[in-house]
Chains A and B, each alone.
Chain A
Amino acid sequence: EDQVTQSPEALRLQEGESSSLNCSYTVSGLRGLFWYRQDPGKGPEFLFTLYSAGEEKEKERLKATLTKKESFLHITAPKPEDSATYLCAVRTLPFSGGYQKVTFGTGTKLQVIP
């Protein structure tokens, strides 16, 4: 069974204090790993797609990286407006057959204090 685990569950940072969020996965047939940002009561906002180990993507203060077992979302010099829940999701196609699945992690709730 595919498993996606995010850590930490919650993270509190001072404004400007850089850190990383982790998404580790145990899946069969990875077809893509996605990062989303979700504000309370709203739908997830797409941030990045990573397809293969070694790939990196950047957007403003965020940088996503991927290895064969995990992905990191690095946040450099965060601002209060970066406060949100960050979700990772993996799309998989089992080698044994069946259909594609998208499995979400439980998220990391980030709070950036001014």
Chain B
Amino acid sequence: DTEVTQTPKHLVMGMTNKKSLKCEQHMGHRAMYWYKQKAKKPPELMFVYSYEKLSINESVPSRFSPECPNSSLLNLHLHALQPEDSALYLCASSQDWTSGYEQYFGPGTRLTVT
């Protein structure tokens, strides 16, 4: 099973709202990732968690706050977003971060900020 699940599939939020994106994997992977993808662009790495600790933060604004409650779950808390934050948010996982293992992606959450 190489499935990564994400909820919700779609999210519309105002600039003053607080919402969370959720991601789950049961492959025993110890690295999990958040990516942002704008239309017709490649995914851009936002955060990397390795063994439930934040390893990489690609200079992401503080209105995005990641959380890794356990090895299977990854959350992305959203607050005071801007319309330009509208995008497809992808979660991915891999066996670990330090080796060259491939990443498996979830279906994404389509976020619209109004």
Contact = CB atoms under 8 A, between A and B. Distances in A.
B interface bracket (residues with beta carbon within 8 Å of A): 20 to 34
Q: Which of A31, A42, A43 has the most CB of B within 10 A?
A: A43
Given A31-B100, A49-B100, A100-B98, A42 B43 contact: no
A interface bracket (residues with beta carbon within 8 Å of B): 20 to 34
Contacts, number: 51
A53 B103 CA distance: 21
A106 B41 contact: yes
Contact of A49 (B98, B102, B105, B110): B102
Interface in B69-114: 88, 90, 92, 97-98, 100-108, 110
B90 A46 contact: no
Nearest to B45: A102
Nearest to A39: B107
A89 B100 CA distance: 12
Contacts of A41: 88, 108, 110
Contacts of A36: 105
B55 A99 contact: yes
A85 to B, nearest CB: 9
Contact of A104 (B4, B43, B98, B110): B43
Contact of B106 (A43, A49, A51, A100): A43
7 contacts: A32-B100, A32-B101, A43-B106, A44-B90, A104-B42, A104-B44, A106-B41
Given A32-B102, A43-B106, A91-B100, 15 more contacts: A34-B103, A43-B4, A43-B105, A43-B107, A44-B105, A46-B2, A46-B102, A46-B104, A46-B105, A49-B102, A51-B100, A89-B42, A102-B103, A104-B43, A105-B42
